[in-house]
Amino acid sequence: MKLYRTLRGIVAEHADRFYELNSFLWDGLITREDLLDHLRNLIREMKPADVLAPRELLPPIGSQEVWAAGVTYYRSRDARMEESKGAGGGDFYDRVYHATRPELFFKSAPHRVVGPDAKVAIRDDASWSVPEPELTLFITPGGKISGYTIGNDMSSRDIEGENPLYLPQAKVYDRSCALGPCLLISDEPLSSATEIALEIRRGGVAVFSGATTLKEMKRKPEELVEYLYRNNSFPHGCFLLTGTGVVPPDSFALRVGDEIRITIPPIGTLVNVVG
Ligand code: DO4
Ligand code: MG
């Protein structure tokens, strides 16, 4: 079951049919602990449409905080050790990769998040920015993973590389986070064979493409959630980006106009342009 947040209300997609849930509010709906069963009961009584009439998709977020995990893939550990070696910070990334406690950081308030086809930003004071394609969990107030979406954890590598203490500035700024295109509601974990693919197009031509699978992720989603919810309450639930396993080579930096396409097959493709 997929849920879309749109300018004309909420739409559920199930078995290639679309159901308008116009009378529902996003926060009230997605924070239900029995979300999947509730949606199944709702649509049972409804008349579906075969196609979704064109409408603008919004990011699948209401009042939730967005958090992120870091260095959950070997590729991320490697790239960060390299970018920060001049600053003497490299050892921290290796240590956190192997530590019991994961790296978790606050990524975004809802107003900094953009949705499908909206523009993501690079900082004016950054010279080396990249997208980070990440499987993103939706967790209920009770701590249950009830949905999945695609997240882009836009990052300024030069700022983070200069000093790891600059991480919040490298990660948190207007339009530094994209989520979408929908929330995949499932009580089952995603298969470890699930692919996360990134393509960056410049002037219509692919200038970078790469992929990983969830098998490469060092930590289990439940482990990240368990740490995030320690002494932390989320009355509206929470989104958690689970870290990147795809990092373009060090010679690559995003430019205004670049198109970022992130695909996670059971969820869809999230497309944003830098602007
Ligand atoms: O350690 C800094 C951030 C790491 C991160 O965002 C990632 O690994 O995806
Ligand atoms: Mg990241």
Ligand 1 center–CA 128 separation, angstroms: 15
pLDDT on residue 230: 98
Helices (H) and strands (E) in the chain, counts: 7, 18
Nearest CA to ligand 1 atom 4: 70
48: phi > 0 → left, psi -120 to 50 → alpha, else beta; which? beta
- Whole-number Å distance, alpha carbon 266 to ligand 1 midpoint, is 24
pLDDT at 147 (0 to 100): 98
**Which pLDDT score is estimated for 136?**
99
Q: Report the length, in residues, of the chain.
A: 275
Q: Does ligand 1 come within 6 angstroms of the Cβ of 90?
A: no
What does pTM read for this prediction? 0.97
- Alpha-carbon gap, residue 254 to 270, rounded angstroms: 17
Predicted pLDDT at 75: 84
Provide the pLDDT confidence category of residue 238 given band limits of 50, 70 and 90.
very high
Name the percent of the chain lying above pLDDT 70: 99
CA nearest ligand 1 atom 9, residue: 243
Task: Determine if ligand 1 sits within 6 Å of the CB of residue 103.
Answer: yes
Ligand closest to CA 70: 1
Least confident of 14-18, 50-54, 55-59, 228-232: 50-54
Task: Please provide the average confidence, as pLDDT, over all residues in the chain.
Answer: 95
Q: How far apart, in whole angstroms, are the C-alpha atoms of residue 128 and residue 193?
A: 31
Confidence of residue 83 (pLDDT cuts 50, 70, 90): confident
Give yes or no for residue 70 CB within 6 A of ligand 1.
yes
Q: Is the CB of 242 under 6 A from ligand 1?
A: no
- Ligand 1 centroid, distance to 179 Cα (angstroms): 17
Distance CA 198, CA 111 (A): 25
